[in-house]
C-alpha cells in the first residue's frame, strides 16, 4: 500500500492530538484512505513533548526547510499557532507543492485571501476544518452538502475557554480566575488567554465562517468585538432571573443584501438550543434558505477533538493523492 507522508510543524496541543489519532486509529485510517498515512518529520524548538509521544531524534528537526522543502513530504500540517511564522511556513509549503492542513484560526483569518490564492496558484489543497469549532464538521458541511443554500444567519458559540468560564461561573458560582486556570490546565485556552477572553479568537473563527458561508471576507479586526472580561456575578444572576444564559455569541446575518456581524456576550433565552451548550462545547446555529435551521454541536477545543478534524482533512487529501 502506498504511503502518504506528513510533515508536522509544532508538537503542541493539536500536534500531539493529531499524532495520537494517526497512531491509535492507524488500521481504520489506512483502510478508509486506501493509503498509509505517516508523520515522517516533526518541527519543534523543544523536543520534550515529541519524546513523550515516543518519537525519536530521526523524526525531529529544528529546521523548517527539512519539512517545507522535503521532497518526500506530501502534506504539511501547520500546528504552531499564531500568525507568524505560521503563515510564511504555509505559503512556503504551498509554493513547494505541498498540500497544507491547519487548525490555526488566527493565521487563516488574517491571511485568508493570500493563502487561498496561493493554494489555487500551486494547485494544492488547503484545508482548515479544525480552525472553527474543533471537532465539529461545520466548514466542510457549508462547502459541500449545504453549498446550494443562501445563508441568512449564523450564530455561534465558538470558544471553549470562554464558554467553560461562563458555564462554571453561572451554574456553579465559581470565580473567574480559578476557572480560567482550570481551562488552561485542560488545554482549551490559548498560550496567552487574552485572545480567548477578549473575543479575538471568536472574531477569527467568525471571519472564516463568513468567508465560506457568505463568500465575503471580513478582516477579524473589522468585526466589532467584546469579550467576557467585564461579566460579573450580578450579570449572570440577572440572566438567570430572566430565564436566560449569558453566552459569547458570534453573529452574522444578511439583511437586504448587507452582511452584519458582531462578537459579544448576549442574553440567550433558556429555550434557545444554544443556551444548552455548556463548558468547552461549541455550537454553530445556521439558517439556510433551503435547509432551514441547523445546529452543529461538539467539542470546540482540546487536543484529540481538534486533532480529529485535522486527521479528517489529511485523509481527504490522502485519498486525492491516491
Ligand atoms: N482557545 C480556543 C478555545 C481553542 O478555547 O476554544 C480552540 O480554538
Are 127 and 185 part of one and the same domain?
Answer: no
Are 206 and 125 part of one and the same domain?
Answer: no
Are 262 and 170 part of one and the same domain?
Answer: yes
- Separation of CA 227 and ligand 1 centre (Å): 14
Number of domains in the chain: 2
d(CA 152, CA 250): 14
Grid cell at residue 263: 462578537
Are 28 and 103 part of one and the same domain?
Answer: yes
Q: What atom in ligand 1 is closest to the CA of residue 205?
A: 8
Are 129 and 34 part of one and the same domain?
Answer: yes
Q: What atom in ligand 1 is closest to the CA of residue 105?
A: 8
Q: What is the dihedral of CA 7, 12, 13, 14, to 10 degrees?
A: -20
- Separation of CA 69 and ligand 1 centre (Å): 30
* Contacts (Cβ under 8 Å, ≥6 apart) of 289: 149, 150, 151, 152
Residue 242, pLDDT score = 98
Tell me the pLDDT of the chain averaged across its residues. Answer: 96
Residue ranges making up the domain that contains 116: 3-134+303-321
Q: Give how far the C-alpha of residue 3 lies from the chain's centroid of Cα atoms, to the nearest Å.
A: 27
Are 225 and 162 part of one and the same domain?
Answer: yes
For ligand 1, residues with CB inside 6 Å are 105, 134, 159-161, 188-190, 196, 201, 300-301
pLDDT, tens only, 60-97? 999 999 999 999 999 999 999 999 999 999 999 999 99
- Separation of CA 189 and ligand 1 centre (Å): 6
Q: What atom in ligand 1 is closest to the CA of residue 158?
A: 6
Look at the pTM and tell me if it is higher than 0.95: yes
Are 156 and 289 part of one and the same domain?
Answer: yes
Grid cell at residue 86: 505560521
Q: What is the CATH number of the domain that holds 252?
A: 3.30.360.10
Quick check: bond before 209 cis, omega within 30?
A: no
CA nearest ligand 1 atom 1, residue: 189
- Separation of CA 137 and ligand 1 centre (Å): 15
* Contacts (Cβ under 8 Å, ≥6 apart) of 171: 278
Q: What is the CATH number of the domain that holds 87?
A: 3.40.50.720
Are 19 and 52 part of one and the same domain?
Answer: yes
Residue 140, pLDDT score = 98
pLDDT, tens only, 1-40? 999 999 999 999 999 999 999 999 999 999 999 999 999 9
Q: What is the dihedral of CA 135, 275, 224, 305, to 10 degrees?
A: -10
Are 152 and 123 part of one and the same domain?
Answer: no
Catalytic residues: 205
Pocket test of ligand 1: the residue of 129, 166, 182, 189 to mutate, having most ligand atoms within 8 Å of its CB, is 189
Amino acid at each position: 500500500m502506498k504511503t502518504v507522508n506528513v510533515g508536522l510543524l509544532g508538537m503542541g496541543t493539536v500536534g500531539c492530538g493529531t499524532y495520537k489519532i494517526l497512531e491509535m486509529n492507524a488500521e481504520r485510517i489506512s483502510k478508509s484512505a486506501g493509503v498509509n498515512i505517516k508523520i515522517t518529520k516533526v518541527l519543534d524548538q523543544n523536543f520534550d513533548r515529541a519524546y513523550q509521544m515516543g518519537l525519536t531524534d530521526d523524526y525531529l528537526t529544528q529546521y523548517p526547510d527539512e519539512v517545507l522543502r522535503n521532497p518526500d513530504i506530501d502534506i504539511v500540517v501547520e500546528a504552531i499557532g499564531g500568525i507568524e511564522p505560521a503563515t510564511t511556513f504555509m505559503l512556503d509549503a504551498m509554493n513547494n507543492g505541498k498540500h497544507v492542513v491547519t487548525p490555526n484560526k488566527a493565521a487563516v483569518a488574517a491571511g485568508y485571501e493570500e493563502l487561498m490564492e496561493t493554494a489555487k496558484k500551486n494547485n494544492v489543497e488547503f484545508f482548515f476544518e479544525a480552525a472553527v469549532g474543533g471537532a465539529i464538521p461545520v466548514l466542510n458541511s457549508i462547502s459541500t452538502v449545504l453549498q446550494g443554500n443562501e445563508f441568512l444567519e449564523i450564530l455561534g458559540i465558538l470558544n471553549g475557554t470562554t464558554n467553560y468560564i461562563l458555564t462554571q461561573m453561572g451554574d456553579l458560582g465559581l470565580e473567574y480566575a480559578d476557572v480560567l486556570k482550570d481551562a488552561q490546565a485542560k488545554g482549551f485556552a490559548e498560550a496567552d488567554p487574552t485572545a480567548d477572553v477578549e473575543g479575538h479568537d471568536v472574531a477569527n473563527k467568525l471571519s472564516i465562517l463568513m468567508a465560506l458561508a457568505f463568500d465575503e471576507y471580513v478582516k477579524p479586526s473589522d468585526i466589532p468585538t467584546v469579550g467576557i472580561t467585564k461579566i460579573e456575578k450580578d450579570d449572570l444572576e440577572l440572566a438567570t432571573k430572566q430565564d436566560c444564559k449569558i453566552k459569547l455569541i458570534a453573529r452574522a446575518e444578511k439583511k437586504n443584501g448587507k452582511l452584519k456581524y458582531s462578537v459579544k456576550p448576549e442574553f440567550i433565552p433558556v429555550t434557545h438550543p444554544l443556551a444548552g451548550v455548556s463548558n468547552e462545547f461549541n455550537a454553530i446555529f445556521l439558517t439556510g434558505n433551503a435547509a432551514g435551521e441547523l445546529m452543529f454541536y461538539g467539542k470546540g477545543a482540546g487536543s484529540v477533538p481538534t486533532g480529529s478534524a485535522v486527521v479528517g482533512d489529511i485523509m481527504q487529501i490522502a485519498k486525492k493523492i491516491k
